Every structure is written in C-alpha cells, then in structure tokens.
Structure 1
Amino acid sequence: MTAYVERGPKIPPGTWEFDWVSSVVAEVAAYAERPSHWNGELYEQTGPAAGRYHRDGGLTISRAHVLEPARPAYTSGHSLTSDEAFAAAGATQLMVFQARLSLSEFGDDGEPGATALSSLEDQVLELAFAERFTQRYAGWVAEKLTDQALPMHSGAPAYPAYTTATEQFLRPLSATTGIAPGQLRDLVERTERTQRFAVIADRVLDHHLGGLVPDAHRSELRQYLSAPLRRRLRDLATDEHRRLVEPGWELIWGSQSAEFDGNLHAVTTHYTSWSAAHPGEQPPALPNRVLAREEDDQRGEWSSGTRDLGTAELQKFLGSYTGASPHTRRRDGIHPDNVVRFRSPEVE
C-alpha cells in the first residue's frame, strides 16, 4: 500500500483540527447547495500528499501541509505575518479542494456501462470540477471562518490539462443534449461519478429521439454512446497535457468527436426510420453487428498492450486520487449529520 493511501493517527472530534475541517466541509456544502458524504472519520494524511477523500467516506488531511499552516489564521487574537497569511491561504485552498471532493458520490463501477473509478476520464472530470469550485469559493469560505485577510489569489490551476479538457469536452455537448452549458455541467457534476457519461448519453437520446427509444433498449444505447465520450475526454486530456509539456504538439480533438457523431447517427437513423415505416409499432434493438463494434473497442481500449503512453503519463499525476479501495457507500443513501460549526480557539 502506498503512502498516499495509508491513514495516520485518527483526529478525534472536539479538537481544533476536527472542528476546522468539519467547518470547512459545512461551508463548502452550503455554497455548493449539495450535501457532503464525509462520514465524520478524520485521520492524518501520511506522506507528501495534502489529503485524500476516501471511497468509504473518510478524510485524511496532512498536518504538515494543511492543518498546521492553516491554524494561525483561524486562531482568535493572533496577528498574522505575511508568510503565515500566504501559508494559511494555500492550506485553506487545499482543504476546500478535499471538501469539494466529498460532495460527489462514487457510485458502483461494477454496474454494466459504468465508468471505472480508476479510469482517467473519471479523474479528469472530478479533479476539474473540484479545481473550478476551489478557485471560485475558497476565498468566500475563508471569509466566513476568519476575520483575517488571506491572499486567496486564484493563480494558475493545479490541473490545467484537466480543466481545459473538461471545458472542451462539455461545451459542444450542450447543443447535442439540448441544454445550456452551465446546466449540463451542473447535471454531470451532481451525478454519481460512475454514471456521468451515462447521464449524458440519456440526455442525448431524449433530445434527439424523445419517446422513440423503448426503456428496454436504454442500457445498451447508453454504453454505445458513452464509450466514445469517455475516449474523447481521455484524448482531450492527453492532447492538452502534451500541448503544455511538448512545444509544437498538435491537438487531435476532432477524431473522437467524429466517432461519437457516427454512433449517434446510427442510433437516430435506426429509430427514426423504423418509426416512419412502422408508426406505433415497437422498434427492434440496434443490430448486434453495430453494437459489437463498440464492445470490441471497449475490450481493447485499456489493455496493457494498446494503452496510450500519454494516458499512462497523465495518470502518474493523479497521485493521492488513484488508490483502489472498497465501495462502502450506505445502501439507504443516508449520511450522518456530522458537520459542526467552527469555533476559533483563543491563543494559548
């Protein structure tokens, strides 16, 4: 097990560290208007990582990189030095980022057509969403929890390839799904991580075909349409990363777009043609010979022999976000009310 995944000593409720983390999580959830799925378990993060939100709902936060640098700014009566202010600002942003990750439900990647939680496309979307939220709201969270002025400059994104790729991925899908870009982003961000590409596919089907697709056909069509979407985002992220690190690299974003458009054309032609020729009759499923081509592509796309080098390079940068751990989401969907308001301690 790597240092990124190991959990250090448990941080109990009633301590300054627990109250501050809990308060940041509460503010992040309030600004996002979404509940956090943090289970109330807090541990010290070991190794070089700032922190990690685990699949069982626990949080590990670095004492050296987050908790200790943040404390002076959230201690009543303490006058910050310039260095302390900058350190506290960075620590707050790191904590807001982890708190934002706790808003997303993981889902079950064992379901048919689900996106694997260890996949690059899942990580790209989630880290880009968390990055965007942190840059927008970290300053407001700090203002709610301390009277100290912190230099919360947005600066360059920590995941520039991911944020750019996500925008390039979602923007053209607005027209394809028939909803505004902001609404599409919000829909995808609020969906379980394993089902984000499936929900896009569902909106595409609804927009283009309405009620022409029987419910019994939906599962296969979600896979048929979402697979090229996943590959498109992987290629966007890989190309954008190479553009940043390899001067002169030419982007090839159009290839996967054409693949998705071809799949969509096959679906719309099948169902609209049948409806025109046989009004009111139940259409047959998309022919197996068409679906089989996509299934073959899916089986080969993550094999070790064909995996793209740029994709492998990108996954090295995921660090603390890529460790495998078991699914322990509660089946009843209920999460404990464990966030408490932060009380700033007096200087000892």
Structure 2
Amino acid sequence: MADLSHPLGPEVPPGHPAHEWVQRIVHAVAQRTGRPTSWNGRLYEEPSYAAMATARPDHSLAGGVDDVIRPLQNAATAGRYEAFPLRAAVAAVAHEAIHLSSEYGDGASDAEVGEVALDEGLTEAWTLANVDGVLTDIGMDRQVPSIVSQHTVDSYPTYTAATNELTRGLSEASGMPPDQVRDHLLNTPRSERWNAAADLVIDGQLGGQLHPEDRAELRKHLVPEMRGGFEKLPAVQWGYDLDTEKAAQGQQIGQQAIEGLKATTGRLQAQYTQSPGQPLSPAPDRPPVYVTENSGRLEAPPPLPVSTEPKRSMQELMAAQREKAKAPLNVLDGQAPASGAVSKPAAPQAAPNAVRPTGPQQDKGGRSVD
C-alpha cells in the first residue's frame, strides 16, 4: 500500500489538460461499472518518489508528475513512442477510479490481508479487461491511435492471477460467467466479499437442499478455504521474483483454494444427502490475518502440538542435548545423509514489505495501484 503520510505537491486546477483527462477517465469508469464515483474533483501532483497514482482518504486523486500528469498533459501531441506511458497513466487512473466507485477504506486498520489482496486483484483484473474500452470512451484511441496496440502491465500479478482462478472456480460452481462473478464481488462491500463468494457456491451447489438457517454455518466452512489462500499472497507479491513467477505462484495458490473449496462443498453435499435435517459439524476455527500499522501482518499463533512423550526433568533434557551434540554429522564426514534427512537447507523466503493501513498499494515501480 502507498504511504499517504507524505505531503502532496500542488493541486492541478480544473481546465488543465491532465485534469480534463482524469475527469473523463473517472466518468468512463463510473459509466462502465454503473456505480457513482466519490471523487471530489480535486487532483494533486504526487511526488515522484512516492506513487504513480493514489486515491486519497478525502476522496481526491493524486498522480505522479512524470507517470500521470505530464503524459496526460501532452496527450494532444503524443506519438507512438509516448503511447505506452500514456496507456499506463490511463490504467493507473482507472484503477484508482474503481476504488473511488466502491467502498472506500480498503486500507483500514481492521482490513484482513486476504480482503486487501482480493480487492486489489478484483480491481486490477477489471482494469486490465476494460482499459481499451475506457480509452475508446474518452476518445484517446482517436487522439493516439497506436495506444490501443500497447501492452498493459499488470501491477499486481500475484493478486490478479489468484483472483482470476477464484472467479473461474466460482463461475463453475454458480453457473455465472467469470466476468459477472468479478463484477458481482466488486459491487459487494469489501468486508462482505468472502460471504458473497461463499453464497455463490451455496446457491449453485446446495440451493435445492439448503435449510435457510444453515447458510451462516455453511459460510464458516467455505470462507476459510478461499481466504486462507489469499492470506499467502502478499508474501509473494512483495517478494523479489519476476512478475511471471509471481503470476505462476498466484495462479497455483488460487487453484489450491478452489480445490479446497470443491472438496469442502462435496463433503457438505454428502452430509446433506446422507443426513438431511441433521446439524452440520462445526467448521474449524481458522483466525484471519489482519493488516497492521507496523508489520503489515498479525496472525494468531498455531496451537501447540500435544506431546505424547513422558515429561523429563531439565537435567535429563540437557543431558540429551549434550549427547546429541557429540553425534557425528554424516554430511561433514563425507557420508550420504540418512534416508529422509535434509542435505541442503531451504532458501529463506523473501519477507513481504510492510503494509500500511491507511491507503492504496503501489507496484514495484512506485505506482500506487489502489
């Protein structure tokens, strides 16, 4: 997420070419989503060291001078070499406009990490699918014809890939086309999106057998299968892998979430068929991971394993450790390690960047895509 504590640059006044283009983009997004925007009409320069674009808590917008303001300002004279950065500027503003046409507060301190990952994935997936339409709506395809042949960089490859897998899986379960699943979730308040996703499965797979009072319990079984996978995504997204590798990992995590969802749905269907009218067994308690001010992640520790070994005194434990230290190391002695032993330590995983709770996220190039 972008750090919104830095001071903004000067305001870009109405009538300025960049302001006019931003106004057109925001209007086009609102028309395409069918949701009114909360943009207050104010546009500011974003410092070049901060983010490409941000949606601010006061419902204003800010754009990087080099990444957004200047490309839009010079759109009237842009040629084929300016088409790529110009398209990126439009995509950045469109992404932020999506956030301003839905529930604001995706960076709130009580936001789950999984909720934020899903929100960014849905928003970026919509942007990638609709940027050409937005360019047509605002007339930029006629202003700069070569802009429609340019590639749009996915600013959240991990989140987008996982979200696409989720929407495909929910599409299969509900019979609703994937793009409609995506838009349905975008139209749902952020805090209710996991329940809305679970309801698609419940109504599509269990609707004919469902007891109305069981819906809340069914959600408790289905939501953790999806949310648990998305809680793993920030560590990948903010790691140091190439974007293609991030996308592959995001796709795999999304597929695993769908497989878990299918297995749980099948188990619930069997329980309904074999034991109609019987109460469902309680869902396992899997506390969510939350966005926090300092570390970006705060998660309940896993339960301690229950040991079946007899308790030993401290002296006995220390003696056992001394004997273990005396044992020769096979690898150092040139012998093959014992079966099942680890001969090479696993490479440390890259830690996710700190996530701030008060605003949108930014990509590796400094552009906020929230």
TM range (shorter): 0.5 to 0.7
Are the equivalent residues in 2 in contact too, given 1:27–1:141 (CA < 8 A)?
yes
Q: CA deviation at 1:189?
A: 2.8
Task: State which drifts further: 6-15 or 192-201.
Answer: 6-15
Q: Is 1:182 matched with 2:184?
A: no
* Residue aligning to 1:157: 153
The CA deviation string for residues 130-166 of structure 1, in whole angstroms up to 9 with x for no partner, is 33333x3343144269734453434253233333332
Query: Residues 65, 190 of structure 1: CA spacing in aligned structure 2 closer, same or farther, 3 A cutoff?
Result: same
* Residue aligning to 2:59: 57
2:356 counterpart (318, 323, 327): 323
Query: Residues 13, 176 of structure 1: CA spacing in aligned structure 2 closer, same or farther, 3 A cutoff?
Result: same
TM-score (norm 2): 0.64
1:108-257 map, 5 Å: 119-134=116-131, 136-143=132-139, 147-155=143-151, 157-158=153-154, 159-210=156-207, 212-233=209-230, 244-245=244-245, 251=252, 255-257=256-258
The DSSP-based 3-state class of the residue aligned with 1:43 is strand
Identity %: 24
* Residue aligning to 1:342: none
* Residue aligning to 1:18: 19
- In 1, the alpha carbon distance for the partners of 2:84 and 2:206 equals 53
- In 2, the alpha carbon distance for the partners of 1:311 and 1:217 equals 41
Are the equivalent residues in 1 in contact too, given 2:229–2:257 (CA < 8 A)?
yes
Query: Residues 296, 162 of structure 1: CA spacing in aligned structure 2 closer, same or farther, 3 A cutoff?
Result: closer
The DSSP-based 3-state class of the residue aligned with 1:151 is helix
Query: Residues 228, 71 of structure 1: CA spacing in aligned structure 2 closer, same or farther, 3 A cutoff?
Result: same
Compare the two structures and name the one with the higher helix fraction. Answer: 1
Q: CA deviation at 1:66?
A: 0.8
* Residue aligning to 1:42: 43
Are the equivalent residues in 2 in contact too, given 1:228–1:260 (CA < 8 A)?
yes
Letter in 2 for 1:21: V
Are the equivalent residues in 2 in contact too, given 1:121–1:234 (CA < 8 A)?
no
Letter in 2 for 1:59: L
Q: CA deviation at 1:184?
A: 2.0
Letter in 2 for 1:64: D
* Residue aligning to 1:267: 268
Please provide the CA RMSD for this pair.
Answer: 4.2
Query: Residues 186, 6 of structure 1: CA spacing in aligned structure 2 closer, same or farther, 3 A cutoff?
Result: same
- In 2, the alpha carbon distance for the partners of 1:148 and 1:255 equals 42
Query: Residues 214, 64 of structure 1: CA spacing in aligned structure 2 closer, same or farther, 3 A cutoff?
Result: same
Q: CA deviation at 1:51?
A: 0.8
- In 1, the alpha carbon distance for the partners of 2:219 and 2:245 equals 35
2:100 counterpart (96, 99, 102): 102
Letter in 2 for 1:127: E
- In 2, the alpha carbon distance for the partners of 1:88 and 1:299 equals 37
Letter in 1 for 2:67: H
* Residue aligning to 2:71: 69
The DSSP-based 3-state class of the residue aligned with 1:323 is coil
* Residue aligning to 2:29: 28
- In 2, the alpha carbon distance for the partners of 1:117 and 1:254 equals 15
- In 2, the alpha carbon distance for the partners of 1:37 and 1:257 equals 34
The CA deviation string for residues 17-43 of structure 1, in whole angstroms up to 9 with x for no partner, is 433322220122223333223233433
Please list every run of 5 or more consecutive structure 2 residues that lacks an aligned counterpart in the other structure.
Answer: 291-296, 303-347, 360-370
The DSSP-based 3-state class of the residue aligned with 2:193 is helix
